[in-house]
């Protein structure tokens, strides 16, 4: 029989030793949650250390990511490819044991956590994906999607507002296979939390539609295990298990104090803790019998083999479904997608419609959601404005028993941050490509989750409409000025601000093909006319030559280049006309994606923006980001907007063809 006391103490010892060696980290939470981990990982978690990507594994999320040594210890002890040397290299350059867990770096880490509250919200997305995939792929006699999502979280996650958004959605969606274990130790960096955290989590989660178990002792392995078993029996509700623990348990002088939270215990205190725990082994020394008790390789291999046998039987009876499941979980697009993308762009070009780019987005989505059953949409209570729904994506609903209706469009409610982090969880699970909409100005609410998607290299698509002062009367609170420039600063995030229907279709196609990169689509509220094009081939490169002086009858080389994005491309074209009437030759470059353009080879960049030609950028936003392109002038907006009809604002702020033309003339005069 496993010695659960020694199993827990092994976690404590590794946490103490790694933090001490790094002289940095958070030993208290891993020491306090050790028995919780023994109960879950030792008795319930279905996983295979030899194949961390087994599709039907249970998902485990450490939402309080500062407790990273807990998951590193667990991964090492249970047999993942995380040798002891990596624990010795905790928080060191290029190690697989970063200060906070990172997916794609450490085998067995499902999501990158650290910004508190986002891990539990990712877990909601993971659980939703499991539930939707089970409905879509399981058939009578064949259950190929059937796993739980477990999450550990602490007081910090509970305090962050995003946890309220996530928990409410989990209750509404009746995610009965989501089980959260709350490390209720009452301590944070500033000390006892009671003076500033008077919440009653039990009542709070009951109000969200969760089961609540506890409080129980988080140091009682049988009690925690029994609570998890009860939670797994839930048919229609997610479950919160409240575990009362002592932060830094085992440390004679640091337990139950803030000192245990975020600093090494110190050599003397570690010595005393080892004595108090009866742990007689040296630093990073784990006895063979403890390794044997923790080893999950054999059980994991057997579980995966049993699932493989079930899947083989499923594939024999439902070969097309099995192939589709494998394609979707691999994140591959259907073979016909390339043609669907071409057809969507060509159709937009042929129709040459004058519509808002938010409507252009919906037109493109109509084609893509029809071709891609994995597209899972949604909006933060702005569906009628974001236009994220199509004829292929009915609203997702669940009945009183938790059964879904097969809908593919989620009403996230006014929960932008929650939506963004849930989408990250959906993408991390696999099987779906999530997209969600809100106004561009509210990207501020979503921003950290967008950054996390970029850090984790996840294909998540944000539909941001009402992208400028062009939204008009709602005024500066809703008019995006700095947001495009701000989003472009996030590494690995593609940002597209298309000018018309064809550019929007291409932007969507590129976003869907970006397997390891999230995308933000910035779309207009106001109608924009179609910009005539000779071909569509270079749009996907992020910038292309839209109009040359010769297209207006001028038989001379360009004297300047106007670079424009989105709705301002029309201003550039009209200014080009005005200048041509005065025999001033100008090239117009449409740059729907600075981020995509920046990745192009130097030769292409040089061909689009030739050296020696002065450049003038036009965009209804802050000017800072444009100077890197060597612009001589920028027609932009370095102030907030005003409340007035859009045409009045355009004239007031100088977004007119005449002002753009005047700016070009002024540059050439210099």
**Cβ proximity of 597 and 653 under 8 Å:** no
CA 372 vs CA 305, 392, 502, 507, 512: distances in Å = 30, 10, 19, 16, 10
Measured distance CA(435)–CA(361) in Å, rounded = 12
Active site residues: 416
Helix (H) or strand (E) holding 544: strand 544-547
CA 11 vs CA 4, 66, 171, 304, 451: distances in Å = 11, 15, 33, 26, 31
**Cβ proximity of 138 and 144 under 8 Å:** yes
Count of beta carbons in the 10 Å neighbourhood of residue 472: 22
CA 550 vs CA 194, 574, 577: distances in Å = 73, 15, 12
Edge-first strand order for the sheet with 409-411 is 409-411, 375-379, 433-439, 461-465, 519-522, 494-496
Taking each helix axis from N to C end, the angle separating 357-371 and 501-513, rounded to the nearest 10 degrees, works out to: 40
Which residue(s) pair with 216 in the sheet?
Answer: 243
Cβ contacts of 425 within 8 Å, gap of 6 or more: 111, 121, 122, 123, 124, 125, 126, 127, 128, 129
Count of beta carbons in the 10 Å neighbourhood of residue 425: 30
Measured distance CA(388)–CA(374) in Å, rounded = 15
Pick the closest to residue 453 from 491, 416, 480 (CA basis): 491
Measured distance CA(210)–CA(167) in Å, rounded = 8
**Cβ proximity of 173 and 130 under 8 Å:** no
Radius of gyration from C-alpha coordinates of the chain? 28
CA 51 vs CA 46, 48, 358, 522: distances in Å = 12, 5, 42, 39
Beta-strand runs (E) in 263-341: none
Edge-first strand order for the sheet with 239-244 is 59-62, 149-154, 178-184, 239-244, 211-217
> Looking at residue 509, what DSSP letter applies?
H
CA 314 vs CA 214, 323, 334, 426, 500: distances in Å = 40, 10, 21, 24, 45
Burial environment of residue 627 by CB neighbours within 10 A (0 to 12, 13 to 18, 19 or more) = exposed
Determine the 3-state secondary structure of 389 from DSSP: coil
């Amino acid at each position: 029989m496993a010695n659960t006391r020694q199993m827990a103490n092994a976690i404590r010892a590794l946490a103490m030793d790694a933090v001490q060696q790094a002289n940095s980290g958070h030993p208290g939470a891993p020491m306090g949650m050790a028995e919780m981990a023994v109960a879950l990982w030792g008795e319930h978690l279905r996983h295979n250390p030899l194949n961390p990507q087994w599709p039907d594994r249970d998902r485990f999320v450490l939402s309080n990511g500062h407790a990273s040594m807990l998951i590193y210890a667990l991964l090492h002890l249970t047999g993942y490819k995380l040798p002891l040397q990596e624990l010795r290299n905790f928080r060191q350059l290029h190690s697989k044991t970063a200060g906070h867990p990172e997916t794609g770096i450490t085998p067995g880490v499902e999501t990158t956590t650290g910004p508190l509250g986002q891990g539990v919200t990712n877990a909601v997305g993971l659980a939703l994906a499991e539930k939707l995939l089970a409905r879509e792929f399981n058939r009578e006699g064949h259950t190929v999607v059937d796993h739980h999502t477990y999450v550990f979280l602490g007081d910090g996650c509970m305090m962050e507002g995003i946890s309220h958004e996530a928990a409410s959605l989990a209750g509404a969606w009746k995610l009965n296979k989501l089980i959260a274990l709350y490390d209720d130790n009452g301590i944070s960096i500033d000390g006892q939390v009671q003076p500033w955290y008077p919440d009653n989590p039990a009542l709070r989660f009951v109000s969200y539609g969760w089961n609540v178990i506890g409080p129980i002792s988080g140091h009682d392995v049988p009690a925690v295990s029994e609570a998890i078993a009860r939670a797994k029996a839930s048919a229609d509700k997610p479950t919160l298990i409240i575990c009362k623990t002592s932060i830094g348990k085992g440390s004679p002088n640091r337990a139950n104090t803030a000192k245990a939270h975020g600093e090494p215990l110190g050599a003397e205190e570690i010595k005393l803790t080892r004595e108090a725990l009866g742990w007689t082994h040296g630093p990073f020394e784990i006895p063979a019998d403890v390794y044997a008790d923790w080893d999950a390789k054999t059980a994991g291999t057997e579980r995966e083999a049993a699932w493989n046998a079930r899947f083989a039987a499923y594939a024999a009876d439902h070969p097309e479904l099995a192939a589709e499941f494998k394609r979707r979980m691999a994140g591959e697009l259907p073979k016909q997608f390339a043609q669907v993308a071409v057809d969507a762009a060509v159709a937009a070009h042929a129709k040459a419609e004058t519509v808002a780019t938010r409507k252009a987005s919906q037109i493109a989505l109509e084609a893509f959601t029809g071709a891609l059953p994995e597209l899972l949409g949604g909006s933060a209570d702005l569906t009628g404005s974001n236009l994220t729904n199509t004829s292929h994506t009915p609203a997702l609903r669940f009945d009183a028993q938790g059964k879904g209706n097969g809908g593919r469009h989620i009403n996230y409610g006014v929960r932008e941050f929650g939506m963004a982090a849930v989408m990250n969880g959906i993408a991390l699970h696999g099987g779906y490509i999530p997209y969600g909409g809100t106004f561009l100005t509210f990207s501020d609410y979503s921003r950290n989750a967008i950054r996390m998607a970029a850090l984790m290299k996840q294909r998540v698509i944000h539909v941001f409409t009402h992208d400028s002062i062009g939204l008009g009367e709602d005024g500066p609170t809703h008019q995006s000025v700095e947001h495009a420039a701000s989003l472009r600063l996030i590494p690995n995030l593609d940002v597209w601000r298309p000018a018309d229907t064809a550019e929007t279709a291409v932007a969507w196609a590129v976003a869907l093909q970006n397997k390891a990169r999230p995308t933000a689509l910035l779309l207009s509220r106001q109608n924009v006319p179609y910009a005539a094009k000779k071909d569509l081939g270079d749009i996907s490169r992020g910038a292309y030559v839209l109009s040359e002086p010769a297209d207006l009858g001028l038989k001379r080389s360009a004297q300047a280049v106007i670079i424009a994005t989105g709705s301002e491309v029309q201003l550039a074209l009209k200014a080009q006309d005005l200048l041509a009437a005065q025999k001033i030759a100008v090239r117009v470059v449409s740059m729907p994606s600075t981020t995509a353009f920046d990745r192009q080879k130097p030769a292409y960049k040089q061909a689009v923006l030739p050296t020696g030609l002065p450049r003038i950028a036009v965009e209804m936003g802050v000017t800072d980001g444009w100077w890197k392109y060597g612009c001589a002038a920028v027609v932009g907006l370095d102030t907030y907007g005003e409340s007035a009809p859009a045409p009045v604002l355009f004239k007031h702020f100088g977004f007119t063809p005449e002002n753009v033309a005047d700016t070009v003339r002024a540059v050439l005069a210099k």
